[in-house]
Amino acid sequence: MASKSVVLSGIQPTGTLHIGNYFGAVKNYVALQEQYECFYSIVDYHAITVEHDPQELRKNTIEMALDLLACGLDPQKCTLFVQSQVPEHTELSWILSAVASYGDLQRMTQFKEKGEGQEFVSCGLFTYPVLQAADILIYKASKVPVGEDQIQHIELARRIARRFNSRFGETFPEPEVLLTEAPRVMSPADPTRKMSKSLGPKHYIALTEPEESIREKIKTAVTDIGPRTPEKSPGVANLFLLLKLTAPQEIYEQFESDYATGTLKYEPLKRAVADYLVKMLEPIRARRAQLKESDVREILHEGARRARAVARQTLEEARERIGVGKLLP
């Protein structure tokens, strides 16, 4: 029997999951575990490339696992683990840094955005995409479910794999990006920018956010700034996207038709978006409330054990290929 294709994705424990992360990536994680060999990593070593609080990081790592399990990750169907528990990632990252181009890293927009205006920019923030390539390639993953903002990093991982393979022999598959129908959910407060935690609380809606706060953020979401045009403004398009993702199709179509005929009022649109979003989040919150932290720690421990068994083999192969294998037979 042919073995299943491997899927890998990572998520940073930098706070709570927001609906951008959910619709852009995590929803896909849940669907893919039914079909593929999936490795999902809470990438704590990525989170230390910007200033962080060690206590918060420890807490957020467990919180992120709780969020992911509440969203529907099933430890019987996928391997969920914390990146730093599989130190093979960082060793492979060093090996890959020898075939990663400095020029390519300089072109990474996320590095430019996160480093811009900062007094101190760490070397880790610059080399972060190489560790990300190692996260993927160490499982020989061929599919990577991510949001649109990560496409450039996955393309870099492909180039790194290609260069390694051409210098040292075929070792890594070139991973491809898997996008959802919502690869870029925008901020309600500034719909020209992606929903993101680092912009501040107005700019994201957390999965665990209280209902009133969700309703308030949708109610005050930016819509049209100028006169209404046939093409939706970014804010209106974002509200329609959220409605499409959460409401029954006929409801969505009704609002679309009202928009097309120029009869749409934003107030009922926003009310519908908030209602369906709150409804969609209910089972996730309910599952999260049932989860026990001690069980989650066990799941992560077992996940790291399984991930390590695979990662160790690939690392050994890469070491052999570059000429730093075992000294004794």
Other CB atoms within a 10 A radius of the CB of residue 79 amount to 23
N- to C-terminal Cα separation, the chain: 33
Q: Which of 27, 140, 143, 194 is catalytic?
A: 194
Residues 222-261, mask of contacts with ligand AQP (x by CB under 6 A): ----------------------------------------
Confirm or reject binding of residue 25 to ligand AQP (CB under 6 A). yes
- Report how far residue 213's alpha carbon sits from residue 2's, in angstroms, rounded to the nearest whole number: 48
Confirm or reject binding of residue 11 to ligand AQP (CB under 6 A). yes
114 included as an active-site residue: yes
How far, rounded to the nearest angstrom, does the alpha carbon of residue 307 sit from its chain's CA centroid?
Answer: 19
Confirm or reject binding of residue 147 to ligand AQP (CB under 6 A). yes
Q: Quick one: which segment of 76-84, 144-152, 154-162, 163-171 binds ligand AQP (CB under 6 A)?
A: 144-152
Confirm or reject binding of residue 196 to ligand AQP (CB under 6 A). yes
Q: Quick one: which segment of 13-21, 210-218, 271-279, 298-306 binds ligand AQP (CB under 6 A)?
A: 13-21
Least distance to ligand AQP, CB of residue 299, Å: 19
Q: Which residues pair with 78 in a beta bridge?
A: 38
Q: Which residues pair with 143 in a beta bridge?
A: 7, 176
Confirm or reject binding of residue 195 to ligand AQP (CB under 6 A). yes
Q: Report whether 129 contacts 157 (CB < 8 A).
A: yes
Confirm or reject binding of residue 125 to ligand AQP (CB under 6 A). no
Ordered strands of the 37-42 beta sheet: 78-82, 37-42, 6-11, 143-145, 176-178
Q: How far is CA 275 from CA 16, 150, 253, 263, in A?
A: 21, 30, 16, 21
Contact residue for ligand AQP among 6, 21, 129, 164 (CB under 6 A): 21
- Report how far residue 124's alpha carbon sits from residue 297's, in angstroms, rounded to the nearest whole number: 27
Query: For residues 95 and 242, which CB has a smaller minimum distance to ligand AQP in the complex?
Result: 242
Nearest residue to 320 via CA among 123, 95, 97: 95
326 included as an active-site residue: no
Residues in contact with ligand AQP, counted by CB under 6 A, come to a total of: 20
List residues binding ligand AQP (CB under 6 A).
11-12, 14, 18, 20-21, 24-25, 146-147, 149-150, 183-185, 194-198
